[in-house]
Amino acid sequence: MKTILLVDDEFSIVEVLAHLLGEEGYAVMTASNGQEALDRASETKPDLVITDQMMPLMSGADFFRALKKIPSLRRVPVILITSAPLRAARELRWADLIPKPFDLDDLLRAVRRVLGE
């Protein structure tokens, strides 16, 4: 079973996505900000991270950079979901960029593609 770490400060989004991904057979961990996500990922290495861009403590891009500095997590793919303009985010090597609002089927297709399923 593949493990996905969801990072978003909006509880309703985390709740819906965690349920959806759980129904698809994924183990789901959640975090409400980048620092909490780094802690969770360090405890249990996820197969994939899905993160929001605009969050407290650190942005999705800052979280991405911090994650990539940890040798054991450097190769974990990260999908960015955001309602923010994508210009600044495009400079990073995201596994995928998904603008909000998004179709849940589009997100599932991206997850399967990134995980090689």
Q: Where are the domains of the chain?
A: 3-114
Nearest CA-CA partner of 37 in 82, 67, 15, 12 = 67
**Type of residue found at 82:** T
Express each pLDDT in 50-88 by its tens digit: 999 988 889 899 999 999 999 999 999 999 998 876 665
Topology of 3-114 in CATH?
A: Rossmann fold (3.40.50)
- Is residue 88 within 8 Å of residue 53, measured between CB atoms? no
Question: H or E stretch including 3?
Answer: strand 3-7
On whether the pTM is more than 0.75, the answer is yes
- For the stretch 10-32, pLDDT in tens is 999 999 999 999 999 999 999 99
